[in-house]
Amino acid sequence: MPYFQFSSVFGFALMLNMIFQVWSGIILSMYYVPDPSMVATLREEYINEIWWFFYVYKTHVIGVDSIFVLSYLHIYKKIYIKNHVGGDVDG
Protein backbone atom coordinates (compact mmCIF):
# COMPACT_ATOMS: atom_id res chain seq x y z
CA MET A 1 0.00 0.00 0.00
CA PRO A 2 1.52 3.35 -1.01
CA TYR A 3 2.05 5.87 1.74
CA PHE A 4 0.18 9.16 1.78
CA GLN A 5 1.93 12.17 0.30
CA PHE A 6 0.83 15.74 0.78
CA SER A 7 0.99 16.35 -2.96
CA SER A 8 -1.73 13.74 -3.56
CA VAL A 9 -4.23 16.21 -2.10
CA PHE A 10 -4.05 18.40 -5.24
CA GLY A 11 -6.18 16.11 -7.41
CA PHE A 12 -8.84 15.68 -4.72
CA ALA A 13 -8.93 19.42 -4.02
CA LEU A 14 -9.25 20.07 -7.75
CA MET A 15 -12.22 17.70 -7.96
CA LEU A 16 -13.96 19.36 -4.99
CA ASN A 17 -13.25 22.76 -6.45
CA MET A 18 -14.83 21.80 -9.77
CA ILE A 19 -17.91 20.47 -7.97
CA PHE A 20 -18.31 23.76 -6.09
CA GLN A 21 -17.72 25.68 -9.32
CA VAL A 22 -20.52 23.84 -11.12
CA TRP A 23 -22.82 24.16 -8.11
CA SER A 24 -22.26 27.92 -7.73
CA GLY A 25 -22.51 28.43 -11.51
CA ILE A 26 -25.92 26.74 -11.63
CA ILE A 27 -27.21 28.88 -8.77
CA LEU A 28 -25.84 32.07 -10.32
CA SER A 29 -27.34 31.18 -13.68
CA MET A 30 -30.79 31.22 -12.09
CA TYR A 31 -30.33 34.96 -11.54
CA TYR A 32 -28.79 35.63 -14.97
CA VAL A 33 -29.93 38.74 -16.84
CA PRO A 34 -28.84 38.98 -20.49
CA ASP A 35 -28.39 42.77 -20.42
CA PRO A 36 -24.69 43.67 -19.92
CA SER A 37 -25.49 47.17 -18.67
CA MET A 38 -27.45 45.77 -15.71
CA VAL A 39 -24.94 43.20 -14.44
CA ALA A 40 -23.18 45.34 -11.82
CA THR A 41 -26.40 46.95 -10.59
CA LEU A 42 -28.29 43.70 -10.25
CA ARG A 43 -25.35 41.96 -8.60
CA GLU A 44 -25.23 44.67 -5.93
CA GLU A 45 -29.00 44.42 -5.47
CA TYR A 46 -28.85 40.65 -5.10
CA ILE A 47 -25.98 40.89 -2.62
CA ASN A 48 -27.99 43.36 -0.51
CA GLU A 49 -31.31 41.52 -0.73
CA ILE A 50 -30.40 37.82 -0.68
CA TRP A 51 -28.27 36.88 2.32
CA TRP A 52 -26.48 33.90 0.67
CA PHE A 53 -25.86 35.47 -2.75
CA PHE A 54 -22.52 37.02 -1.71
CA TYR A 55 -21.18 33.65 -0.55
CA VAL A 56 -22.21 31.87 -3.74
CA TYR A 57 -20.80 34.69 -5.88
CA LYS A 58 -17.48 34.73 -4.01
CA THR A 59 -17.26 30.92 -4.16
CA HIS A 60 -17.61 31.13 -7.92
CA VAL A 61 -15.10 33.98 -8.34
CA ILE A 62 -12.42 32.43 -6.10
CA GLY A 63 -13.07 29.00 -7.63
CA VAL A 64 -11.96 30.22 -11.06
CA ASP A 65 -8.50 31.20 -9.83
CA SER A 66 -8.05 28.19 -7.60
CA ILE A 67 -8.93 25.78 -10.42
CA PHE A 68 -5.96 27.11 -12.40
CA VAL A 69 -3.61 26.96 -9.42
CA LEU A 70 -4.63 23.44 -8.43
CA SER A 71 -4.49 22.26 -12.05
CA TYR A 72 -0.93 23.51 -12.43
CA LEU A 73 0.12 21.95 -9.12
CA HIS A 74 -1.46 18.65 -10.12
CA ILE A 75 0.28 18.67 -13.51
CA TYR A 76 3.65 19.65 -12.01
CA LYS A 77 3.34 16.80 -9.51
CA LYS A 78 2.77 14.33 -12.34
CA ILE A 79 5.76 15.71 -14.28
CA TYR A 80 7.94 15.52 -11.15
CA ILE A 81 6.94 11.92 -10.45
CA LYS A 82 7.56 10.90 -14.06
CA ASN A 83 10.97 12.59 -14.34
CA HIS A 84 12.52 12.27 -10.90
CA VAL A 85 10.87 9.61 -8.81
CA GLY A 86 10.53 7.01 -11.58
CA GLY A 87 14.22 7.18 -12.48
CA ASP A 88 15.99 5.06 -15.07
CA VAL A 89 14.87 1.46 -15.28
CA ASP A 90 17.70 0.49 -17.66
CA GLY A 91 20.58 1.45 -15.34
The pLDDT tens digits along the chain (91 residues) read 456 666 678 778 888 999 999 999 999 999 888 888 998 899 999 999 999 999 999 999 999 999 999 888 888 887 777 776 655 555 4
What pLDDT is stored for residue 87 in this prediction?
Answer: 55
Distance CA 54, CA 60 (A): 10
Between vectors from CA 55 to CA 8 and to CA 30, what angle results, nearest 5°? 105
Asked if residues 47 and 54 have their Cβ atoms less than 8 Å apart, the reply is: yes
What pLDDT is stored for residue 91 in this prediction?
Answer: 47
